[in-house]
Amino acid sequence: MPVANYEQYCQMLDNAFKNKFAYPAINVTSTSTANAVLKALSDAKSDGIIQVSTGGAEFASGSVKDMVLGAISLAQHVHLLAEKYNVLVALHTDHCQASKVEKFLIPLIAETEKRRAKGLPNLFNSHMFDGSELPLDENIKMSRMLMERCAKSQIILEVETGVVGGEEDGVNHEGAPAEKLYTTPEDMVAVAKALGPIGRYMLAATFGNVHGVYKPGNVKLKPSILRDGQAAVTQALGQNARIQLVFHGGSGSSIEEIHETLEYGVIKMNVDTDTQYAYTRPVVDFFLKNYDQVLKIEGEVGSKKHYDPRTWSKLAEASMAERVKQAVSDLRATGTSLLNNA
């Protein structure tokens, strides 16, 4: 099945919102990691979201270091391969800070506009603008501007209020003030009032979540913030204004905390740190166990079948796919594909 179109993507998000499950949104940096996600979603009979960050996109472009080109390359790969799988896949770009909008987000929106003018499908289904470091009024002003342009091309915009702690993709918020880690009900109402009349959007509201992975007990999540925010939105604007929410920094969260967020409207959870580890772990194991085969040492020639990248990368892909399937299960999405349930 090709990458989901706008109507299908909306159906995916609405289905999750109604039935209180969420889609794993997995960051990819290569065709190999993208392939792992596609297989996992297919095995789990779940639709899902493949996403690319600015750093991941730059990496995918190799020594060219062109984040726009890398994002386009990965998206085109997914468009081609998705047709071989019987689940719906959406393409999304992750955290784009205000300083990178002109050199990352705007060119990708323009690329979709060019494609649509030729009768081709959208390159990406949704983009994230991360204006969380800006004052709320500036964040909303810029979000409105981007959303008005996105809506014309049936692109859903994800925005963020508050700051996700920790470090990811070169952006470090480990020293962020505690109050910035929690979105207020007033923030959520302001976003709903500003963006709701324009079109479809998602909100990454922060409730103490942190990028990276930490030992149990080190991250102080307050999912009740999402509950209270939704209640404020409903009181101010009505039941239909309830926001479809995104959970960032989910690695290391307890299953109870994850499930509680689903009750309050989380329909997308970003997963990156855990899948990075899952991809790398079997590679390390393989090299440690086959040291003499993968290296040409002491005059020996090694073993081609061991140092052939296809040998160990298959192990990496399989391990990452298993971790993605676990994320699907944790988010109650197993067997929920719209295609499998049609």
Tens of pLDDT along 95-127?
Answer: 999 999 999 999 999 999 999 999 999 999 999
Distances from the Cα of 314 to the Cαs of 52, 91, 120, 282, 318, in angstroms? 21, 23, 33, 10, 6
Q: Is the pLDDT of residue 216 over 80?
A: no
Distance CA 51, CA 74 (A): 9
* pLDDT, position 298: 84
pLDDT (average), residues 123-147: 96
Q: Is the pLDDT of residue 330 over 50?
A: yes
Q: Is the pLDDT of residue 217 over 60?
A: no
* pLDDT, position 221: 84
Burial bucket for residue 297 (CB in 10 Å: 0-12, 13-18, 19+): exposed
pLDDT (average), residues 156-178: 61
| Residues whose CB falls within 8 Å of the CB of residue 206, separated by 6 or more in sequence, listed in order | 132, 160, 161, 162, 163, 164, 180, 181, 182, 183, 248
Task: Spot the catalytic one: 43, 47, 66, 94.
Answer: 94
Ramachandran angles phi, psi of 78, nearest 5°: -65, -40
* pLDDT, position 132: 87
* Mean pLDDT for all residues in the chain: 92
Q: Any catalytic annotation for residue 169?
A: no
Of the candidates 324, 213, 248, the one whose C-alpha atom is nearest the C-alpha of residue 95 is 248
- Percent above pLDDT 70 for the chain: 90
* pLDDT, position 182: 86
pLDDT (average), residues 237-249: 95
* pLDDT, position 173: 40
**Amino acid, single-letter form, for residue 120:** L
Ramachandran angles phi, psi of 229, nearest 5°: -65, -45
Q: Is the pLDDT of residue 170 over 60?
A: no
- Percent above pLDDT 90 for the chain: 83
Instruction: Count CB-CB contacts under 10 A for residue 65.
Output: 11
- Decide which of 315 and 219 is more confident: 315
Residue 180 binned pLDDT confidence (cut-offs 50, 70, 90): low
Range in 54-63, 166-175, 312-321 with the lowest mean pLDDT = 166-175
**Amino acid, single-letter form, for residue 261:** T
Q: Which CATH class is domain 6-330?
A: alpha beta
pLDDT (average), residues 125-154: 96
Q: Are 112 and 155 in contact (CB under 8 A)?
A: yes
* pLDDT, position 171: 44
Q: Is the pLDDT of residue 45 over 70?
A: yes
Distance CA 76, CA 83 (A): 12
Annotate the chain with three-state secondary structure.
CCCCCHHHHHHHHHHHHHHCCCEEEEECCCHHHHHHHHHHHHHHCCCEEEEECHHHHHHHCHHHCCHHHHHHHHHHHHHHHHCCCCCCEEEEECCCEHHHHHHHHHHHHHHHHHHHHCCCCCCCCEEEEECCCCCHHHHHHHHHHHHHHHHHCCCEEEEEECCCECEECCEECCCCCHHHHECCHHHHHHHHHHHCCCCCEEEEECECCECCCCCCCCCCCCCHHHHHHHHHHHHHHCHHHCCCEEECCCCCCCHHHHHHHHHCCEEEEEECHHHHHHHHHHHHHHHHHCHHHHCCCCCCCCCHHHHCHHHHHHHHHHHHHHHHHHHHHHCCCCCCCCCCCC
Residue 250 binned pLDDT confidence (cut-offs 50, 70, 90): confident
Q: Is the pLDDT of residue 242 over 90?
A: yes
Of the candidates 99, 120, 1, the one whose C-alpha atom is nearest the C-alpha of residue 54 is 99
Give me the residue spans of the domains in the chain.
6-330
Q: Are 183 and 225 in contact (CB under 8 A)?
A: yes
pLDDT tens for 264-281 read 999 999 999 999 999 999
